[in-house]
Amino acid sequence: MQLNKLVFGLGLAFGLMASASAQTTMRISISTAQNSHQGVAIDVFAKEVEQRTGGRYKVQTFYNGALGGERESIEAVQLGTQELAFSSTGPVPNFVPEAKILDVPFLFRDKAHARAVLDGPIGQDMLTKFDAKGFKALAWAENGFRHMTNSKRDVKVPEDLKGLKIRTMENPVHIAAYKGFGIITTPMAFPEVFTALQQGTVDGQENPLPVIISAKFDQVQKHLTLTGHVYSPCIFLMNKASFDKLAAADKQAFLDAAKEGAKANRARVDEDDAKGVADLRAKGMTVIDNVDKAKFVAALAPVNAEFEKQFGKANLDKIRNYK
């Protein structure tokens, strides 16, 4: 009897150990704060992964560049030292050059257009380009339309940008475009930006309203202009080998969890866009919201001609005219 109890007890203990060890923990990181459109994305994703896999997979979430800036996180995912990352597409062309086309200025009419392109055949085909580079791209999400801020002057026309030292993403398309405005471009990882603005190392930066709000750039920037010059997608990335090891049902669970994260992310972007201008004005920023976009588009005509050569006019038009 005692022996049976002992065997049962040992069996139970080993069973509990086995179930505990059966949980696999993965890490995902963002460069922005938890209370942001990106924070919402990875929080929902982590919750959904755990629920959909019955707790066999747990995703640890890291914020504010705790595991490095976007480029470092993407590199870590590619190398397999980190399983997952959620990033803007800013540094992505350094790994997957095909994604460059999405960063062309004034390519998308509005968020509905951008989301339709990313969720449709063009965007879904683009996700497959990541496979050969060591990634599984799980889903598109977004940062939103990027706007200019600076500490020097109101920007009402393109000429007002000339000579401003602006932090840019580590993205060749952005850098080429902003030089077309006469901006002195300073590529820099996001976690360094607040301090650089505070110390006057750069005059300004450009980001969507949800990023400007969550990063508290109103504390170090006076002037905001709603240029909407580039639509900035985000993406859920997973190490390809880590994804390939998953059972078929778990692969689907990760893909579905990313879709839910993207849905929550886009809803938060909409919310931040709706109240962002009023919030930033209340915090003391001067906001120029009646921009003549045609002037900004015209200022980039020479650069856009180069982009048409680089990407092919037909490919750009396919995106521009997507319904």
User: CATH no. for residue 146?
Assistant: 3.40.190.170
Partner residues linked to 24 by β-bridges: 57
| All residues at 6 or more sequence positions from 12 whose CB lies less than 8 Å from its CB, including other chains | none
Q: Is a pLDDT exceeding 60 seen at residue 17?
A: no
pTM of the model: 0.90
pLDDT computed for residue 141 by the predictor: 98
* Residue-wise pLDDT tens digits, 131-160: 999 999 999 999 999 999 999 999 999 999
Q: Using pLDDT thresholds of 50, 70 and 90, give the confidence band for residue 120.
A: very high
Compute the mean pLDDT over every residue in the chain, rounded to the nearest whole number.
93
Q: How many domains does the chain have?
A: 1
Q: Using pLDDT thresholds of 50, 70 and 90, give the confidence band for residue 22.
A: confident
Give the mean model confidence (pLDDT) for residues 223-239: 97
Angstrom distances, CA of residue 143 to CA of 86, 147, 176, 272: 11, 11, 21, 11
Q: Which helix (H) or strand (E) holds 232?
A: strand 231-239
Is the Cβ–Cβ distance between 141 and 85 less than 8 Å? no
Is the Cβ–Cβ distance between 194 and 116 less than 8 Å? no
Q: Is a pLDDT exceeding 60 seen at residue 14?
A: no
Lowest mean pLDDT among 19-28, 57-66, 183-192, 225-234: 19-28
Q: Is a pLDDT exceeding 60 seen at residue 175?
A: yes
Of 179, 192, 178, 122, residue with least CA distance to 146: 178
* Residue-wise pLDDT tens digits, 29-80: 999 999 999 999 999 999 999 999 999 999 999 999 999 999 999 999 999 9
Which residue range forms the structural domain that includes residue 56? 2-320
pLDDT > 90: what percent of the chain? 93
pLDDT computed for residue 2 by the predictor: 53
Q: Is a pLDDT exceeding 80 seen at residue 184?
A: yes
Give the mean model confidence (pLDDT) for residues 172-186: 96
Q: Using pLDDT thresholds of 50, 70 and 90, give the confidence band for residue 178.
A: very high
Q: Is a pLDDT exceeding 50 seen at residue 176?
A: yes
Find tokens 């300073």 and name the residue. 186
Give the mean model confidence (pLDDT) for residues 182-203: 96
pLDDT computed for residue 20 by the predictor: 45
Find tokens 């959904």 and name the residue. 48
pLDDT computed for residue 4 by the predictor: 52
